[in-house]
Amino acid sequence: MIQRIINSKNFIAFLLALATGMALYFLCPFPSSNLFLRVIALRAPLVYGGALSSYTAMLFTAPYILYSILLFDSGFCP
C-alpha cells in the first residue's frame, strides 16, 4: 500500500494542488472591482477575459508545480 502511494506522486501533487487552488480561489478572488480592470473590461473585453482566465489557471498550476518539485525523488540518495 505504501509503495503504491509513493509511486503515485503526480496524483498526490494533483490532489494537494487542487486543495490549495480551491482555497486560493475563495480566499484571493480576482480583483474585478479594481478601477483599472474595469476600464480594461469595457475597452478590451477579450483581454479582460484572458487576464481572468490566466489568473484562475495560475491559482491551480503554480501549486502543482511547487508540489511536484517538493515530491520529486531524484534517485541519487540510497
Each residue's pLDDT tens digit, 37-63: 999 999 999 999 999 999 999 999 999
Q: In whole angstroms, what is the distance from residue 13 CA to residue 32 CA?
A: 30
Once rounded to an integer, what is the mean pLDDT over residues 11-37? 94
Position 9 in a domain = no
- What domain range includes position 47? 28-70
The angle at the Cα of 67, spanning 25 to 74, to the nearest 5 degrees, equals 170
**77 assigned to some structural domain:** no
**Residue 8 domain flag:** no
pLDDT higher for 8 or 60?
A: 60
In angstroms, rounded to a whole number, what is the distance separating the alpha carbons of residues 24 and 56? Answer: 9
The total number of residues shown for the chain amounts to 78
Domain-embedded: residue 42:
yes
The total domain count for the chain is 1
Determine, yes or no, domain membership for 48.
yes
pLDDT at 6: 66
The answer to the question of residue 21 being in a domain is no
